[in-house]
Structure 1
Amino acid sequence: MKVLLFSEGKNLFKKSGVGKALEHQMKALELAGVNYTLDPDEDYDIAHINTIGVLSEKILINSKKKGKKVIVHTHTTYEDFRNSFLFSNYLAPFIKRRLIRMYSKADMLISPSEYTKNVVLSYGIDNKIEVVSNGVDTNKFNCNNIKKIFKQTFSINKPLILSVGLPFERKGIIDFYNLAKRLPQYDFVWLGAKLNIIPKKIKKILNHKLPNLKFPGFVSDEMLISAFCEAAVFLFPSYEENEGIVVLEALSSKTPLIIRNIPVYKNWLSHKENCLKSQTFEDFIENIDLIVNNKVDVKKMVENGRKIAEERDLKNIGIKLKNIYGEIYEEEIQ
């Protein structure tokens, strides 16, 4: 059994969650001993498609014509496409029609969370959907024996409030900026690739100088892990996620976590058990104070968070994917 892992526009998406998800799939399949290729011209038995572009649909159609089973990963939804790129809100209805067409043609769908599964089902799609986390490399995102170089490199002298992600309005970057403005006693750093296809109001934030706010852009894995390990708080104010790989990385690194209270985290992240959840802007301020000044059991939270990350370790994800492939492959050869 050989699997085609296909992701369109690798150069565009390599610094995004979809790019990270593909990396995770590759590592997970290697750990599980599953043979895979990234080249659609090679022979394969199952196509596992991660994107919804023109080439992705072509791979889907050609695979079906050849009698091969096709899995489409539902990384993209109408809800998470909005408030991201320039013109994303204008394009979102077209994207929704496109993803419905592609998802409906698949033999099986994989969603990264129960929340995303329910969103996809709400579109009227009735394909079988398996839920498999995007996973995290818990060996990599581990603060034991790592070089703590981030604060020194970026001249961080105050408690570090960290966030990671593409600088989209949907990710909560405006709130992050306003928190930095409100809380000069902390250093705020947002890591993530700076793109040309973002609205002017976001570019204005990225270019506006606050003494306690930095936007270093995309950094190496070594620098990223150091940032997690040196942060007082990982603050992720995103309004819409399908899972949030950076949340898993924070949990794995035992970085105290503050998130927005949105539906995707229901049933697996709990307030004061493994994170702090914020409903309002003032909640974020209060929750930062609770963690930085040890007014909550931070040790319990990060230990519980690490257990969640270990459940979603890539070795476990590889086993789940292998079982799904095996099930669909058996259908193919019968």
Structure 2
Amino acid sequence: MKVLIYFESERLIKKSGIGRALEHQKEALTSVGIEYTLDPNCEDYDILHINTYGINSLSMVNQAKKRGKKVIYHAHSNGEDFKNSFVGSNQVATFYKKYLIKLYSEADRLIAPTIYAKEILESYGIEKPISVISNGIDLASFKPNQEKEKKFREYFKLEDSQKVVISVGLYFHRKGLLDFVEVARKFPQYTFIWFGHTPLYAVPKEIRQVVQGDHPDNVIFPGYIKGEIIEGAYSNADLFFFPSYEETEGIVLLEALASHQNVLVRDIPVYKGWLEKNKNVYMGQTNDEFQELIAAIIDKKVPDLTEAGFLVAQEKSIENVGLELEKVYQTVLTEKREGY
């Protein structure tokens, strides 16, 4: 078995969640000994595992079908999570949804990262079989490490006693960036750090203004940072606050859980079935609720949920994802041999 993993415009997406999904897929296939290639010109593959949606992606699907190859589409996106992102995204969301339906309908099987994401695809009328497989998490990279934590605090010049709340994501309204900043205004004694980057020309004016300076002094936008600094931040911060309005899963959330960090998220449908309120994460709906929970979590007036959260991440390890992908690949190839 040989799999062609295809990500269009890899350099442009490497700083996003879908970019990390590429690394996770490579690691997952390696963990179970499945041969893969990233070469779009390769011809001796059995399955095209495609992850992106541009014109070249459509071309790859058409080419694979002409060659009699099986196609698995990894549904990282849908019409709902496209809204409230880039400039003009809401205006073209309907077209984008129709385009996704066309692309996904060309595949032999789809992979959705959560039950919620699968249900959205089914609501579109897509009749292809859909497997639910997490994007996964590299547990080893996010194991708490004192040296990484020290580098994080030194990088931001944080005193040992300084309380820190972090989040990670693109500069999108959908990610809850404006709420993150508004909540931070209520806690001038804490430092709030939003890791991540999106070219400012691509986001709406209100987001651009906030990132460029219309935020309180206790909020920091350091941009995209990878490696030991952010890994240290995940485990050393006092809380991971992720007020996103819409996700298909949320790799950064898995990274926080893997770091043995307390997590506060917005109570949205995507978490149904794998996250439990007050059991492995804390959940809120409004900024007032977020403020109450942040104060309680940092002051340790509520139970520590880090170990229960870590168990969630453990279930979604790269190794487990590899085993699940292997099953899907074998199923697709069996269907091919039986003449479907």
TM-score (norm 1): 0.97
Q: Which amino acid aligns with 1:207?
A: Q
Q: Is the 8 A contact 2:155 2:229 kept in 1?
A: no
CA distance in 2: counterparts of 1:216 and 1:65, whole angstroms: 46
Aligned to 1:318: 322
1:150-184 C-alpha deviation (Å, 9 max, x unpaired): 12211234210000011100000000111111211
Moved more, 26-35 or 138-147: 138-147
Which residue in the other structure is 1:308 paired with?
A: 312
Shift of 1:254: 0.7
Alignment match, 1:210: 216
Q: How many residues align?
A: 332
Q: 1:287 aligns with which of 288, 293, 297?
A: 293
Unaligned runs of 5+ in 1: none
CA contact (8 A) 1:260 1:279 kept: yes
Give yes or no for the alignment of 1:150 onto 2:152.
yes
Please name the residue that 2:39 is paired with: 39
Q: Distance in 2 between matches of 1:212 and 1:187?
A: 5
Whole-angstrom CA distance in 2 between matches of 1:236 and 1:18: 18
CA distance in 2, matches of 1:277, 1:191: 21
Contact kept in structure 1, 2:136 and 2:321, CA below 8 Å: yes
**Structure 1: how far apart are the matches of 2:185 and 2:294?**
14
1:253 aligns with: 259
| 2:183 aligned to which of 168, 179, 185 | 179
Residue deviations 1:281-332 (CA, integer Å, cap 9, x gap): 111001101211111111xx11111111111000010010011111111222
Match of residue 53 from structure 1 = 54
Judge conservation of contact 1:150–1:227 (CA < 8 Å) in 2. yes
Alignment of 1:47-196 (within 5 A): 47-144=48-145, 146-148=147-149, 149-157=151-159, 158-196=162-200
Return 5+ residue gaps in structure 2 as ranges: none
Give distance in 1, aligned partners of 2:130 and 2:37: 23
Residues 81 and 174 in structure 2, CA contact (< 8 A), matched pair in contact too: yes
Report the AA paired with residue 218 of structure 1: Y
Deviations, residues 174-228 of structure 1 (Å, cap 9, x unaligned): 0011111121111000000231311111110001152211000011221110111
Could you tell me the TM-score, scaled by structure 2's length? Answer: 0.96
Aligned to 2:331: 327
Out of 233, 238, 251, the residue aligned to residue 232 of structure 1 is 238
Describe the superposition over 1:255-304 as per-residue Cα deviations: whole angstroms up to 9, x where unpaired. 11000000001121111111100011111001101211111111xx1111
Q: CA deviation at 1:124?
A: 0.7
Q: Given residue 332 of structure 2, which amino acid in structure 1 is its aligned partner?
A: I
The Cα RMSD (Å) is 1.1
Does the 8 Å contact 1:111/1:130 carry over to 2?
yes
What is the distance in 1 between the residues matched to 2:196 and 2:61?
31
Give 2:18's aligned amino acid.
Answer: V
Output the CA distance in 1 between the equivalents of 2:13 and 2:145: 30
Alignment partners' CA distance in 1, 2:194 and 2:279: 25
Judge which range, 289-298 or 255-264, deviates more.
289-298
Contact 2:257/2:310 (CA < 8 Å) preserved in 1?
yes
C-alpha separation in 2, matches of 1:251 and 1:76: 22
TM-superposed CA distance for 1:333, in Å, is 3.0
Contact 1:272 1:296 in 2 (8 A): no
Structure 1 residue 145: deviation in Å? Answer: 5.0
Q: Secondary structure at the match of 2:142?
A: coil
- What is the CA–CA distance in structure 1 between the aligned matches of 2:132 and 2:147, rounded to whole Å? 32
Per the alignment, residue 16 of structure 2 pairs with: 16
Work out whether residues 233 and 257 of structure 1, in 8 Å CA contact, stay in contact via their aligned partners in 2.
Answer: yes
Q: Secondary structure at the residue paired with 2:91?
A: helix
